[in-house]
A and B are shown apart, each in its own frame.
Chain A
Amino acid sequence: MQIKNNSIEKFLINSAVPILFILISSIAIPLSKFSGIYLVREIVTRLTRDTFLVLSLLIPVMAGMGINFGMVLGAMAGQIGLIFVTDWGVKGVLGLVIAMIISTPISILLGYFSGAVLNRSKGREMITAMMLALFISGIYQFFLLYLCGSIIPIKNYKLLLSRGYGIRNAINLDTAGAFDRLLRIKIRGVSVSFGTILIIVAICIFTTWFRKTKLGQNMRAVGQDMVVADSAGIKVDKTRIQAIIISTVLACYGQIIYLQNIGTINTYNGADQAALFAAAALLVGGATVSRATITNAVVGTALFHLMFIVMPMAGKNLTGSAMLGEYFRMFISYGIVTIALVLHSWKRQKDREMARVQFRVNVKALK
């Protein structure tokens, strides 16, 4: 903070992750032999598809709770909403809106639960949230596999497994693309879905606005120093729960936006990946567990997906084998997540070191 002379070094350390990804991409893009227009089209699609999910992670970071791996809970709620509207046969935008309405109370409930659990494990939020997501995922599977179609009526037989109850593994959505078709405009051969983009812009405005509200201020205070916030009379636990609830609800909407773009639900393992990819994208954008901005989210999403698109093809062209390219793709996408997390913890270490030096081994910096 005070070492201004080191600001270039600091900038480099801060952006180490995005810079690394830009470097790798700049090598891989020519190797992949993709045309520019193709890449732009792909990136635009994926940005509209994924950014909302990534943005849902911002508020818990602000409240000092790290990356909310519990957003999976919201994603599950969103999927349940979508399954129900598909069963009822509601189509188009109306279907999506109803899905959102159904899943909102579910995700509020799950968010509350998640927040309450995280309050019991302060300082270890991220790992706890991961475990919690696994646990809830079990309940989610039980609900869909056994309760739906037996206790909870499902009319549409296409949704059910052949045994007569339990939801199928993959479901085609009647509501596919409903948001994306709103205000879709072709610009130089790239079709841009302004409808979805407007929703994303709205959430950006919401996040920015929210930071400036009393509640947002409370969250920032709690995120910086729980003890001080508490002694000023801010209800720390309640504030933290609210941060998680907002994040969970946003993740739920994010998942609905994501799925309407894809068009099908991968019922049983679509959701768990959501958190991992969103987290990785945010980290790729240069965010840390304690500081994440809208720019981090957007840049990160774009870079992450650029890698995702380019890498398999580059691998194939390099080795000449489609099979190898496919392995390469898997290897790289998991690699990205691992690298992002490792780099991120390295950076946290670095941050900590700097803080320690600056505050002369201040105890707060060690925590």
Chain B
Amino acid sequence: MEGNIILKFENVGKQFDGNRVLKDVSFTLKKGEILGLVGENGAGKSTLMNILFGINVIQETGGYEGNVYFDGKKVVFKSPFEALNSGIGMVHQEFSLIPGFTAAENILLNTEKTKPNIISKIFGKRLETIDEKEMRKSAQKGIETLGVDIDSDTLISEMPVGHKQFVEIAREIDREKVKLLILDEPTAVLTESEAEILLKAIRNLANSGVGIIFISHRLNEIISVCDKLVVLRDGAVVVERSVGGVEIKQIAEWMVGRSVEGEKNFHSKIQDISNDKDIILDVKNLWVDMPGEIVRDVSFKVRRGEIFGIGGLTGQGKLGIPNGIMGLFPSGGEIIFNDKNLPLNNTYNSLKSGLAFVSEDRRGVGLLLDEPIDMNIAFNAMQVHDKFVKKFLGGFIKWCDNRAIRECAKKYIKELDIKCTSAKQKARQLSGGNQQKVCLAKAFALEPTLLFVSEPTRGIDVGAKKLVLDALRGYNEKNNTTIVMISSELEELRAICNRIAIVSEGEIVGILSAKAPIADFGLLMSGIDKLEEEGEDNE
């Protein structure tokens, strides 16, 4: 039995400047086993993985307590490279890909396929020429093991997030001797069907003997793929057991340490905006060329003051809509915003005319990581403010007024329950989920006329999801801000939207009131469901 154990944590603890984030963590992982690590935002999951992987921050902030045993030996990795060399792969919560490189170049970064030439024979291997054909072949093979279809010649900067995620995973498993793979919220940026593909790939990998630590806030994924469950609460292990027979609700309760109230019904609160008299956004024949999320021909009207939901399955194009309107991907068609024609393909202009966007790409969301939270929240508002001085006559006009910035930050920290030591804490030091909350606050602070939010609850733990949705609803009511929310979780859309459009094959197949019975939504999506399955069968 002992020989089967690949990883063992023994009384591991960690504090950052006296702020204790992990205490007495002990658990084990066997070869070929998938361990689901769950916990609230800021529970210490990423920190624990950083300790294992030898990330520099840990050393720089005074190391850790306790012991880590890997493959039978006690290990203290001084750098990620040492961890890599001894057979640990890690997919981080933030991307570590080079945007200007192709998928193949990234997958084989520093393990490039080369062929010798005369010069390299004299001066050494580093002058061997890159064998592009071999690189492509090898990368393609890696991508295919994951069961996805990505062109290895595509630049990372031109990929949808989901594909980036697969590229990053392909890179980790490409290394031959990987014995342990750490996946920190790999599915957070994936749509459900992409996530399914990934889960299947993980299972295959585990079957070949690799130990896997899988972190996710989607508890159903934990239940469906993991063998073992470890729950962290406030930095301590509260549960270590096999997954068999555990229910989602039970896990959620372990995570937050109290019983979780059932989903509250918001419908009563939603005000009635039921006519097309006051249209704030009129989209006509929009097309967007966003790889993996192509929008073909979409027309819809958004009423002033409503929350308009856009749902639909993976790759059908729902994400393309906000990305196109905001000018992040090439697009065409006609958009009338506030009775004015909105030129497409111009992000700056879109921002200027009062649109704001919280991207689904929460790893590229662009926080200024070395700036404090309050600066991050105020930053965009300050930038746009330069040109809209009159519009923000509130407290914000003195944008260099640090007190106002701090006040505003404090408000959102409270409202969104951002877990931090103070408003002056650097964004880098926040946990992933809390960074996501800062992004939302940033968009709120911009005081847009219309706010696009794409997948707002990704990476947010079960307890905090409701909080985020409440905040959106509240913001909508208080400021009469129109919100267009894109989400792959129908339940989430139904909870706070007035109307919901369902996107399929790049077109809107129907717009329903959120009160419509769930079966109706199912019907709209069901046809597509079948198509998808057929598509998969064909492969």
Contact = CB atoms under 8 A, between A and B. Distances in A.
A232 B99 contact: no
B84 A358 contact: no
B128 A214 contact: yes
B366 A362 contact: yes
A1 B328 contact: no
Interface residues of B, number: 45
B126 A214 contact: yes
The prevalent SS among residues of B at the interface is loop
Contacts of A4: 330, 345
A223 to B, nearest CB: 9
Contact of B379 (A6, A213, A215, A361): A361
Contacts of B157: 1
Contacts of B127: 213-215
**Chain B CB within 10 A, most for which of A5, A231, A353, A360:** A360
Contact of A214 (B100, B130, B344, B364): B130
Given A5-B330, A214-B128, A360 B364 contact: yes
Contacts of A221: 98, 101, 109-110
Interface in B138-177: 157-158
Interface in B169-191: none
Contacts of A233: 81, 84, 110
Nearest to A223: B100
Contacts of B100: 220, 224
Interface string A208-221: 01001111111011
B98 A362 contact: no
Contacts of A366: 368
A142 interface: no
B126 A224 contact: no
A366 B368 CA distance: 9
A234 to B, nearest CB: 5
Interface string B90-114: 0000001111110001000110101
Contact of A357 (B130, B348, B368, B370): B348
B347 A357 contact: yes
Contacts of A216: 130
B158 to A, nearest CB: 7
A3 interface: yes
B369 interface: yes
A250 B7 CA distance: 51
A2 interface: yes
Nearest to A206: B119
Nearest to A209: B129
A5 B344 contact: yes
Instruction: Categorize the interface residue count of chain A.
Output: 35 or more
A214 B114 contact: yes
Contact of A361 (B105, B110, B128, B366): B366
B96 A231 contact: yes
B357 A3 contact: no
Contact of A359 (B96, B364, B369): B364
A358 B357 CA distance: 12
A359 B383 CA distance: 15
A234 B367 CA distance: 26
A225 B109 CA distance: 12
A362 B328 CA distance: 13
Interface string B412-449: 00000000000000000000000000000000000000
A3 B345 contact: yes
B380 interface: yes
The prevalent SS among residues of A at the interface is helix
Interface string A1-33: 111111000000000000000000000000000
Nearest to B350: A357
Contact of A217 (B97, B105, B125, B351): B105
A324 B412 CA distance: 66
A207 to B, nearest CB: 13
Contact of A363 (B99, B330, B359, B367): B367
Contacts of A1: 157-158
A227 interface: yes
A97 B188 CA distance: 61
A225 B110 contact: no
A92 to B, nearest CB: 28
Given A218-B110, A231-B81, A213 B364 contact: no
Contacts of A225: 98-99
Interface in B62-95: 80-81, 84
A228 interface: yes
Contacts of A365: 366
A215 B127 CA distance: 6
A209 B100 CA distance: 19
Contacts of B330: 2-5
Contact of B364 (A231, A232, A362): A362
B250 to A, nearest CB: 37
B365 interface: yes
B327 interface: yes
B112 A214 contact: yes
A63 to B, nearest CB: 13
A227 B96 contact: yes
B338 interface: no
Contacts of A214: 112, 114, 125-130
Interface string B346-357: 111001000001
27 contacts: A5-B330, A5-B344, A5-B345, A6-B345, A212-B129, A212-B130, A213-B120, A213-B130, A214-B112, A214-B127, A217-B130, A218-B110, A220-B100, A221-B101, A221-B109, A225-B98, A228-B98, A231-B96, A234-B110, A357-B327, A357-B348, A358-B328, A358-B347, A359-B366, A361-B368, A361-B380, A362-B366
Across the A-B interface, the 6 shortest Cβ-Cβ residue pairs: A362-B366, A232-B110, A5-B345, A357-B347, A360-B366, A232-B109
Interface of B: 80-81, 84, 96-101, 105, 109-110, 112, 114, 120, 125-130, 157-158, 327-330, 344-348, 351, 357, 359, 364-370, 379-380, 383
Given A4-B330, A213-B120, A231-B81, 8 more contacts: A2-B329, A209-B129, A213-B128, A213-B129, A229-B109, A233-B84, A360-B365, A363-B366
